[in-house]
Structure 1
Amino acid sequence: MQIESLLTLERTRSNQDANSKRGALELLAQVIVQDLPTIEADDLFRRFLARERLGSTGIGHGIAIPHCRINSGTGAIGALITLTQPVEYDSIDAEPVDILFAMLVPEEAHDEHLKNLAALAGALTRSEFRQRLRAAGDNSTLFQAAIS
């Protein structure tokens, strides 16, 4: 899986403000629906929260990969935000999160979902990749850092 197959510049936001995990998830939902108006922000936010109740999507090193299944008629969709200040996230390493990469997959795409999550987690756990994302000062630079 290539990150550029999931992500667009329109769904990439650098240096965003959120005061909590819920706030960050709400922000992610808003970013996605601005680019894909067929998806409802409230529904997407509820799906993110439902997934978090099963277990935190915070994978460590300040990274979270919130994800859910949707009936959008599209393929897998990604969105990336970085936060100006990390938020508590109940991550596996108890560290707060400042990079969130959301992934939405069609309801029926079970194998694709798992493969994409594994590939994304692999990329995001590389220190140099995280450093590039954190150093990006604007949306375009963040997008380029994510896909290169």
Structure 2
Amino acid sequence: MQLSDILDVSAVKVISGCTSKKRLFHDLGEMAESAYGLDQTKVIDALIEREGLGPTGVGKGIALPHARLADVGKVAGLFLRLEKPLYFDSVDRQPVDLIFALLAPENAGVDHLKALALVSRTMRDADTCNKLRANSDVNTLHTLLTEVESTQAA
């Protein structure tokens, strides 16, 4: 599995103003509907429900919200870069500005875990995160995310 398998360029966005975690989940729901044809209300509800189990802010300005949904055919990714960092209940108590959300089928099993591990490895790379923070063009952001796998594989 590679990021290019789960992240469509239409699922990458830069947002200038996001005022709350709930608003962020609404933005992700709208993106999921637009990019993958998913019901935004179900996506929002699933993300909020999962977040209720424990915050998905992993530290260093990064959040990895994820959820399983019956309507999802395969693991799908959504990437947001916030121009203004948002408080997210992260483990290091720092606001987040890079969000990579994953939506998986209810019965995804190991595919969901593999995708989460792949995204986590990618987002742990400080150089990649610096490049993501320095760019606002969605095509460039998508390329930065999907090129990482090629460089790591070499």
The TM-score normalised by the length of structure 1 is 0.94
Work out the CA distance in 2 between the residues paired with 1:90 and 1:25. Answer: 14
Secondary structure at the counterpart of residue 103 of structure 1: strand
Pair 1:131–1:46, CA change in 2 (3 A): same
* Residue 17 of structure 1: how far off its partner (Å): 2.3
Match of residue 5 from structure 1:
5
What is the aligned partner in structure 2 of residue 48 from structure 1? 47
Q: Is the 8 A contact 1:15 1:137 kept in 2?
A: no
Which residue in 1 is equivalent to 2:88? Answer: 89
Following superposition, the deviation at residue 76 of structure 1 comes to 0.5
Amino acid at match of 2:55: S
Q: Which amino acid aligns with 2:30?
A: Q
Aligned residue number for residue 32 of structure 2: 32
CA distance, structure 2, for counterparts of residue 16 and residue 144 of structure 1 = 21
Instruction: For 2:88 and 2:34, locate their aligned partners in 1 and report how far apart those are by CA, in whole Å.
Output: 24
**Which structure's relative contact order is higher, taking Cα pairs within 8 Å and 6+ residues apart?**
1
Q: 3-state SS of the aligned residue for 2:67?
A: strand
What is the alpha-carbon root mean square deviation over aligned residues? 1.2
Shift of 1:72: 2.4
Structure 1 runs (4+) deviating above 3 angstroms are: none
- 1:2 counterpart letter in structure 2: Q
Separation in structure 1 between the aligned mates of residue 16 and residue 44 of structure 2, nearest angstrom = 17
In structure 2, the residue matched to 1:134 is: 133
* Percentage identity across paired residues of the two chains: 31
| 8 Å Cα contact 2:72-2:104 kept in structure 1 | no
Q: Mind listing any 5+ residue stretches in structure 2 that lack a counterpart?
A: 148-154
Q: 1:111 to 1:19 in 2, by over 3 A?
A: same
Separation in structure 2 between the aligned mates of residue 73 and residue 62 of structure 1, nearest angstrom: 28
TM-score by length of 2: 0.91
1:93-136 Cα shifts (integer Å, max 9, x gaps): 11101111110111111111112111211110110011111111
Unaligned runs of 5+ residues in structure 1 are: none
- Residue 59 of structure 1 corresponds to 58
